Structure 1
Amino acid sequence: MHVFIGGAYSGKTDYVMKLLADQQVELVDGYVPDDTPACDVLVIKNLEKWLITQDLEDDETLIRTILTRLKTLEENCTLYIIVTDMGRGVVPMEKQARLLRDACGRLYQALFAEAELVVRIWYGIGELIK
């Protein structure tokens, strides 16, 4: 699993798609697919869009479920995940926004722990973290 993180509109998707230009890529936006598409590389972006539709009160179970699904997908193709850095120390006033920020933070920690490669992207430039 390869994970790419950066702020909104910082060039994450373009960066990843340039890396994968010569491969058969399936790009999924805003959800985790149930079945693995036929491709060399599966790119999943904007997981926070999907997370907001889930029960964020029990994020530990949700994160375990997501990791299990991702590991299953990874059995059949290379997995690239693009996530948006949320928060940066800013605590939202609305409860749902706080739950989302916290769930994203815990999910990203779990993804980074599992990933063999983690890259931070700012303004289209990648910085290797792991």
Structure 2
Amino acid sequence: MHVFIGGAYNGKTDYVMTLLADQKVELADGYIPNETPECDVLVIKNIEKWLVTQNLDNDEALVKTILTTLKALEENCTLYIIVTDMGRGVVPIEKQARLLRDTCGRLYQALFAEAESVVRIWYGIGEHIK
């Protein structure tokens, strides 16, 4: 598993797709597939859009479920995950927005721990942090 993180519109998808130019890539935008598609690389981006549709009250169980699903997907193809840094110390006023930010933070920590590599993208420039 390879994880790429950066702010919104910082060039994360372009960076990843350039890396994967010669491979058969399947892109899952805003959802986590139930089954692994036939491809060399599965790229999952905008997980936070999918998280909005989930019950965030028990984020520990949700994070475990997501990791289990991702590990199963990874058995058949290489997995690249693109996530958006949404924290930066700003605490949202709305409860649901705070739950989303907190859940994303916990999920990202778990993803980073499991990942083979982690790259931070800053306006199209990648910085390898793991």
Q: What's the counterpart of residue 80 of structure 2?
A: 80
Deviation at 1:76, TM superposition (A): 0.1
Corresponding residue SS for 2:82: strand
Deviation at 1:87, TM superposition (A): 1.4
The one-letter code of the counterpart of 1:54 is Q
Q: Considering only aligned residues, what root-mean-square deviation do their CA atoms show, in Å?
A: 0.3
Percent of matched pairs sharing the same residue: 83
Q: What's the counterpart of residue 92 of structure 1?
A: 92
Within 5 Å, give how 1:1-130 maps onto structure 2. Answer: 1-130=1-130
Deviation at 1:66, TM superposition (A): 0.3
Alpha-carbon separation, structure 1, partners of 2:79 and 2:98: 28
TM-score by length of 1: 1.00
Alpha-carbon separation, structure 2, partners of 1:51 and 1:120: 21
Task: Extract unaligned runs of 5+ from structure 1.
Answer: none
Alpha-carbon separation, structure 2, partners of 1:52 and 1:63: 13
The one-letter code of the counterpart of 2:8 is A
Alpha-carbon separation, structure 1, partners of 2:7 and 2:120: 9
Task: Extract unaligned runs of 5+ from structure 2.
Answer: none
